[in-house]
Structure 1
Amino acid sequence: MKQVVQFKLNQTDQVFSTSLIQFSPSKSSQGVFKNEVSESQHSFKSFKELKDEFNITHHQHSQFYDSSFNSIDIIVETEMVDEDNKTPKIANFNKNNLMMKKQYTRMDNKQKSTNFEAFLLIGKYFFSVGILALPYMFYLTGFILGSLLIIFTAAMTIYSIHLIMAVHLDIQSKVDPSQVKQTTTITELAFKIFGVPGQLSCRIFSTIANLGSCISYIIFFEIYISGIIQEQWSNKITNEQAHLIGALFAFTIILPLSTVNNITLFWQTNLVGFLVGLIAVLWMLYLDFSLILGTGGVQRSENDLWKTDNFFLAVGISVYSFQVMGIALNIRNSMENPNNFIPVFYTSTILTCLMYLVFGIVTQLAIGEYTEDIVLLNFAPQTIIGFCVRLMYTISVLLSYPLKFYVVVQIYENLKCFKDEIFSVEKYEMSEYKNFFDQSLALLKRYAIRYVLIVSIFMLSLTTYKLAKIISLVGSLGSIILQFVIPQLVYMRYFKVQWYRIIFGITICLIFVISACLGVFYSLMSLSSNH
């Protein structure tokens, strides 16, 4: 019998009773560090000595989120492994009043990802409910202006990643490779260059973007379920009652997913969700092409090529569909060969841009002015095809939701005020009077606040069913600044660029700040209107 203990690596002053320590390989689906500890001897070594002896590097495994998303410290359960049948058994471990702890990495991913896996992960982050609003965006802007907006957003996304990569690589080149943190993100870069204000700005806009995505996902579920209810019992209940029932169903489904802490599952669920959603989009494209070839589509006018009345409403939708800044460098650091990140990212972004253009234009040609703000609503649920397409994309969104919510949870749970005061995790760990009640109370506080957040998201989702407008609001309020303004400021401040580059960068920042403000204004106006 051997005890398998998972250590928290930064606890350098911890002392353990060991005679043999060896490293077991990571599980294929986990990146948690494990050490096998023999219990036959009682020689003492400090963890720092063990770290030096075995060259343990805290950042050996790629992590998924920046420092603001530090993994949750969970009091250890020690596994007892039976060498005969290899069956893990859970046992309590509190020997010599030393409470062993384990630390989940920010993403419990399986191992280093290949270029293809990184390509799929980037594509999945692009691929969300935003694509369903693109036909409506083309209806708002016309074909030419809408196409230019999509291309411009994709180009600026690539440019922003280029700026952040330049800063990141320059920092790496000036520091001892063994001291370089392998999980640098836009938040950490902003903290190094602008201090707490930069870090706080990234956290705020990242929270808005991900929290808004959670709300939009729940609204999507409400629309889907209420559509089924109205189809089956249209004569017995009103639209408001159908939406309320749909919201309750959505809440019932989302609630257990919101309590998941093992993010090992997120890679798998996101990949499955991406593939299912891609099949649904390709199916919709096939139906649109069939409609165009069969009927010629709807009649067009010159005004359908270029419309500016709702341009800033469309900007938010476009930016929402390309939001990737929060996880780009994490994906790079998770790759087997990080030097391949740039071509992989460029390829994924360009192909996504082409898919957006084709899907938006073809759907708008087929449906025209009858386009709903979410194109799935144009597919009748009473038909087999319409039902299957709606169901497939709903499954895709359902599998994508947990990771969006997990990012929000990690941001607020790792704020100092929450960790030290509300959850009392650190106080509990330092206390000499550790008991089950204290541990349970800390856990109770943690989940109580999480449930309050879930209910708040649910209540906000009940305020409107205009999903395209919510997407536009989230894109304008949360994504534009994080994706286009902060990278410019980080680059200019770090490299201390010449005056002409400062003028260029400030001009870009002003354009996007004004676009964000106008986008928020028009989104709120549209949400408050009766149309």
Structure 2
Amino acid sequence: MNDGTSNSDSESSPIVRKKVFGPAKDMEYLRTTYNSILKNTASVRDINPTGPGATLMHILKANIGIGMLSMPNAIQNAGYVLGPILLILMGIIATHCMTLIVTASHHLCALFELPALSYADVAQLSIAYKSKRPWLGQMARILVNLMLLLTQLGFCCTYIAFVAKNVILLIENSGSIPFQYRLIIVMILPIFLLGSYIRSLKYLAPFSTAGNFCYLYSIIVILAYCLTIVLKNGLGPGVQAFSTTPLTYPLFFGNVIFAFEGIGCILPQENKMSNPNLFVPILWIGMVLVITSFVILGVFGYFAFGSNLAEVISLNLPERVMSPIDLVYTVAIVYLTFGIFSSYLVQFYVPIEIIEPIFIRRIQSPKLKILVQYIIRTILVTFTALIPIVIGQIDLLIDLIGACSSTCIALIFPAVIEIVSFWRVRRYCLPFYLWVIKDIIILSIGLIGGVLGTGVAMYNIVLKF
């Protein structure tokens, strides 16, 4: 097939498969698109790859965060009967959507002989591959990157707010003079800055592992405390099997989608694996553990405190050290604070991967490149501290971020990407229509839940202020 290029040009662009598209102008655009992405994928595969164990730790850390601590509030918004059922269902859908992104990435990498792809690369290539329109592929890339930035930076904002409130709780427990919430954020900001300067996931693995064990200890203590409260006092006030307020269900949706906060970290984790073929089984193992822990803590936390639930369940722990057993709760708060801090470092890796290449791509000097990286990280971390200074309520941040940007990243985009990536491959298969119906259902859940959840969350923010 003659597309107007020389043999030498073809040899220098081995990723182009000439029979995929017909018109020469389409081939010219696609060649340019794929080669530009190929240049950017050299740094996607980390020079310090992670093994299965470290990857599992990263997956757990990326999904077990503040969202888990807000699960009792989610169950409260749906009831202790319907809540767990919907939570498990949403967990399965969210995990399935994570695998859709990975599968589409593998398909496109094999099709165009690329080493690895980011979430935005997958969106751009899949849309361009189906539509053959340059502006659609570029718009898809911009939209995915924008939503990833909003989602991941939103997660980081809630983490800083959580750490600040835990520090205040520890100060109050010690009997010291209380500090203002905003002052605490300013005081802990340098610690987050130093952590953000770690530039490889391999070196974040020890923090993830230690953070997971600290988090596990804290969750066990919180769960034991909830069980003690239930056995001693019975069910908390206002506990319901089903929520009788329709407006709470969109909040449940936003809360749960926020809790499955790791989808933005999925491809970065897969791209850093020494053996990427093991990623999907490891992902399902990790997500089964995550969903199970969500249901257990959500139900018993709601049983214990009912309508007296705080923004997150950890803030319901005893406020004063009155006995030796209370020291256990204080240690749990300390460990939990460290666990959330380590989650911040993992989640922060995603916006860094999006923003840094834009500024350092054309910088030749290694020293200048490192300096620019530090400047970018400093600006982003400072931004994630400013937002919780303005909006101090963790639950308001969770509901808004979950319903607005997380829904797009976790549900809407994966369904669209699967349809356009595999349309040419699967449209002649017998179960094709069932496959399309499945993706349309996921799209509908994401669109309806996202719109309603965002509206209710914004309404609650207006009421608070």
TM-score relative to the length of structure 2:
0.78
Letter in 1 for 2:289: L
Count of matched residue positions in the alignment of Structure 1 and Structure 2: 409
Matched residue, 2:360: 419
Q: What SS does structure 1 have at the residue aligned with 2:199?
A: coil
Q: Deviations over 1:307-338 (max 9, x none)?
A: 53311122121112113323334544555654
Is contact 1:68-1:411 (8 Å) kept?
no
Letter in 2 for 1:186: Y
CA displacement at 1:369 relative to structure 2: 1.5
Is contact 1:70-1:410 (8 Å) kept?
no
Over 3 Å counting, the alpha-carbon distance change for 1:376 and 1:166 in structure 2 is: closer
Is contact 2:396-2:457 (8 Å) kept?
yes
2:156 maps to 1:156: no
Partners in 2 of 1:215 and 1:327 — Cα distance? 16
Matched residue, 1:191: 124
Aligned residue runs from structure 1 range 123-272, under 5 A? 123-171=60-108, 174=111, 179-181=113-115, 183-194=116-127, 195-231=137-173, 242-272=180-210
Aligned residue runs from structure 1 range 422-441, under 5 A? 425-426=363-364
The structure whose RCO (Cα within 8 Å, separation 6+) is larger is 2
Matched residue, 2:387: 460
Matched residue, 1:476: 403
C-alpha RMSD over aligned residues:
3.1
More helix by share: 2
Aligned residue runs from structure 1 range 373-452, under 5 A? 373-383=311-321, 384-415=327-358, 418-419=359-360, 425-426=363-364, 446-452=373-379
Matched residue, 2:464: 530
Is contact 2:105-2:122 (8 Å) kept?
yes
Letter in 2 for 1:125: A
Is contact 1:223-1:465 (8 Å) kept?
no
Could you list the runs of 5+ residues in structure 1 that have no partner in the other structure? 1-47, 49-66, 72-102, 430-438
More strand by share: 1
Partners in 2 of 1:69 and 1:510 — Cα distance? 36
Q: What SS does structure 2 have at the residue aligned with 1:462?
A: helix
Partners in 1 of 2:200 and 2:118 — Cα distance? 22
Identity score, percent:
19
Worse-superposed segment, 244-253 or 266-275: 244-253
CA displacement at 1:261 relative to structure 2: 2.7
Letter in 2 for 1:458: A
Partners in 2 of 1:255 and 1:339 — Cα distance? 34
Over 3 Å counting, the alpha-carbon distance change for 1:69 and 1:207 in structure 2 is: farther
Q: Deviations over 1:465-516 (max 9, x none)?
A: 2112212222222221112111111121122245675455345323312321
Matched residue, 1:436: none
Letter in 2 for 1:357: V
CA displacement at 1:135 relative to structure 2: 0.9
Q: Deviations over 1:339-358 (max 9, x none)?
A: 44333322222221111111
Aligned residue runs from structure 1 range 337-352, under 5 A? 338-352=276-290
Q: What SS does structure 1 have at the residue aligned with 2:390?
A: coil
CA displacement at 1:368 relative to structure 2: 1.5
Partners in 2 of 1:449 and 1:167 — Cα distance? 30
CA displacement at 1:390 relative to structure 2: 0.9
Worse-superposed segment, 130-139 or 150-159: 150-159
Over 3 Å counting, the alpha-carbon distance change for 1:69 and 1:281 in structure 2 is: farther
Partners in 1 of 2:58 and 2:194 — Cα distance? 24
Is contact 1:472-1:523 (8 Å) kept?
yes
Is contact 1:69-1:411 (8 Å) kept?
no
Q: Deviations over 1:401-436 (max 9, x none)?
A: 223223222311212xx336xxx614x68xxxxxxx
Letter in 1 for 2:390: T
Could you list the runs of 5+ residues in structure 2 that have no partner in the other structure? 1-11, 13-36, 128-136, 322-326
Matched residue, 2:445: 511
Is contact 2:63-2:261 (8 Å) kept?
yes
